[in-house]
Amino acid sequence: MEKKQVYVYEYDGGLYVNLTSRCPTACEFCVKFSWDYMYRGKNLKLVQDPSVAEILAATPADLSVYREVVFCGYGESTYRLAEMRDLSGAFRQRGAQRLRLNTVGLGNLINGRNIAPDLGSFLDVVSISLNTVDPEQYIKIMRPRPEFRERALESVKEFIRECVIHVPETVVTGVALPGVDLAGVKAVAETAGAVFRARAQLDD
């Protein structure tokens, strides 16, 4: 187990970028609450957000060997939209073929505007964790921050629709939890034109 904080880590042929520990939700299934921020032997808890230079220093020079580079840590990368954009350009220069963002879909609320056009300018895939279409269940499962709670679910749905318009590929995921209507999540995804994928708790 590594004790030092990790900015990038490898998993299943991909390279994952840990941009921030800030998150607009406290999802009940998130392993950071039971694993003390250790994930697959890596310490993803950040004392402070790393700079673009620090992330690039920790990133291999040749990214063509990875099937994809993914913005995915224990926090929500859309808090750092400008840094994502700058890193994506640098990653392309290092040979990255596919850039993906894993997100809870609240980036528009975080940034106060529609960020899907921005994401579409530098990403290939956006994977959005929806998990339920029931408003009460969403609050229970995803536990959004108080300032986002009232608008969270509808904002995620709108974000999905916007990403379908602006990003080459949009994937909507749902964690297979007891009592969750994944068929409803799939319907929202496919109605918007996105791909649906059910996933286990530890999937990426």
Quick check: 196 pLDDT over 70? yes
> Does residue 124 or residue 48 have the better pLDDT?
124
- Give the span between the Cα atoms of 108 and 114, in whole angstroms: 5
Domain for residue 3, yes or no? no
According to the model, what pLDDT value does residue 99 have? 98
Domain for residue 172, yes or no? yes
CATH of the domain at 33: 3.20.20.70
Cα 192–156–74 angle (5° rounding)? Answer: 125
Q: Structurally, how many domains does the chain consist of?
A: 1
CB–CB of 76/48 below 8 Å? no
Domain for residue 120, yes or no? yes
- What rounded mean pLDDT belongs to the chain? 90
Domain for residue 1, yes or no? no
Domain for residue 189, yes or no? yes
Q: Which domain range does residue 68 map to? A: 8-199
**Cα→Cα distances 127→38, 54, 60, 124, 196, Å:** 22, 25, 24, 10, 9
Q: What is the pLDDT of residues 89-120, one digit of tens each?
A: 999 999 999 999 999 999 999 999 999 999 99
Q: The pTM is what?
A: 0.92
- Axis-axis angle for helices 182-192, 152-166 (nearest 10): 40
Quick check: 1 pLDDT over 50? no
According to the model, what pLDDT value does residue 100 have? 98
Q: What is the pLDDT of residues 18-42, one digit of tens each?
A: 999 899 887 776 655 555 555 566 7
Quick check: 73 pLDDT over 50? yes
Close Cβ partners of 138 (under 8 Å, ≥ 6 residues apart): 131, 132, 144, 152, 153
According to the model, what pLDDT value does residue 82 have? 98
- Give the span between the Cα atoms of 146 and 168, in whole angstroms: 32
According to the model, what pLDDT value does residue 4 have? 77
Tell me the Ramachandran region of residue 11: left when phi exceeds 0, alpha when psi lies from -120 to 50, beta otherwise.
Answer: beta
| Average pLDDT rounded to a whole number, residues 73-82 | 94
Quick check: 146 pLDDT over 70? yes
Tell me which of 8-12, 17-21, 32-36, 84-88 is least confident: 32-36
**Cα→Cα distances 23→28, 72, 74, 149, 179, Å:** 13, 12, 8, 13, 25
